[in-house]
Amino acid sequence: MTAMKQPKFRRRTVLAAPAALSAAAAAQGTDERPRVLITCAAHPLAKTLARKLAAECRIRLTDRESGASEHEFVQASLSDEKQTASVVQGVHAIVHVAEPGSGESESQHLDWLTRGTYHLLNAASRAGVSRFVFLSTLDSMTSYDASFTVSESWRPRPSTSVPVLSKHLGEMVCREFARDRRIRATVLRLGKVVKAAETTGREFDPMWVDEEDAAHAVSRAIAVTAKDNQQGIGSWWSVLHIGSDSPGARFSLAGAKYVLNYQPKVKW
């Protein structure tokens, strides 16, 4: 079998140097709130998460391309182990939005969600990061009959579509790190993230989840884990479904309600 060429990545760096990170940390003074790293800073969901979590956490954003933000921003490619190791320094929790960059090929997409996620988890476990939250997709569960209410205990059935398959493979990378007890990992399988105000007049989609509810789930995943870790009883691995609580929704939210006290506000 002919070996597949590894995709090339840009390696520009804005704040990846440890000295720059130290300066940014010093500028925040004696703020003792936990620092949360959010990947894929340019993605709309990452921006919503930064806004939602900023009240209780110090936010560090990262992406493969440079960008402006009111929060600390570090440009880094997860394909580069040194850059990845630098960006996780001083971080308490990581939220891996795990969305591809624009213009990426399918092979680059798959590589980034597997090798890139591995680099991020490896760096995080070595740096002593206490929690890793991976944002996956409920699309890996949609091959079951639509009349079934599918829970997390059901086996995923991802299609060969790269956006779905790559998320599933990312989940598997997280699982192996958790099984080795290198880092506590929570996978949140999200439905179709939308803004509720923009769905007016549209036919109801049982996969919808409001972006504010998705952000609420992420916030709870970080908060609950921090509390459990202090008590020494935290689980190393969990998978939870995050959707709306609307009549006709396809997926059970019982796990998220029990573990995270997830209470979605938007119903269609």
Asked whether residue 22 is domain-assigned, the answer is no
Asked whether residue 23 is domain-assigned, the answer is no
Query: Looking at the predicted structure, is the pLDDT value of residue 30 above 80?
Result: no
Distance CA(199)–CA(194), nearest Å, equals 8
Distance CA(227)–CA(4), nearest Å, equals 44
Q: What's the domain range around 245?
A: 33-260
Average pLDDT, the chain: 86
3-state secondary structure of 63: strand
Distance CA(167)–CA(157), nearest Å, equals 12
Asked whether residue 100 is domain-assigned, the answer is yes
| Confidence at residue 100, expressed as pLDDT on a 0 to 100 scale | 81
CATH number at residue 193: 3.40.50.720
| Confidence at residue 1, expressed as pLDDT on a 0 to 100 scale | 44
Asked whether residue 238 is domain-assigned, the answer is yes
Q: 111 phi and psi, to 5 degrees? A: -65, -45
Asked whether residue 7 is domain-assigned, the answer is no
Asked whether residue 16 is domain-assigned, the answer is no
Predicted confidence (pLDDT) per residue in 128-148, tens digit: 999 999 999 999 999 999 888
Predicted confidence (pLDDT) per residue in 100-112, tens digit: 877 788 999 999 9
Question: Can you read off the two tokens belonging to residue 153?
Answer: 């205990």
Distance CA(245)–CA(161), nearest Å, equals 27
| Confidence at residue 19, expressed as pLDDT on a 0 to 100 scale | 41
Domain count, the chain: 1
Asked whether residue 14 is domain-assigned, the answer is no
pLDDT-derived band at 25 (thresholds 50, 70, 90) equals very low
Asked whether residue 20 is domain-assigned, the answer is no
